[in-house]
Amino acid sequence: MAEKTAVSMAEAIRAHCAADEAEIARLRALGERERGRLIESACEAAAEIYRSRLAAGLPDVEPAPWPASTWEFLRKHAARVRG
């Protein structure tokens, strides 16, 4: 029984990975405008969720701090841009 469950789990994982790969390929094929619309739609959805949270009386969301690697990337990028 446990072996059958492990096989089923492995098949589910493979199917999920294949679906992810197909979705990534679809996103890479999008044009610049399509990607822009997708990003805009995601931002609008996030804003709606945030407004709904506040309307429901839930506390304000505190974002997690950026990791040190992000700060380092931004520091290097800013230095390159400045000159």
- What's the pLDDT at 50? 93
Q: In whole angstroms, give the CA distance from residue 79 to residue 4.
A: 56
pTM of the model: 0.53
pLDDT-derived band at 71 (thresholds 50, 70, 90) equals: very high
CA 50 to chain centre: 17
Q: In whole angstroms, give the CA distance from residue 73 to residue 83.
A: 16
For residues 62-71, average pLDDT: 91
Which alpha helices (H) appear in 1-83, and where do they start and end? Answer: 2-28, 32-55, 68-82
> Where exactly are the structural domains of the chain?
2-82
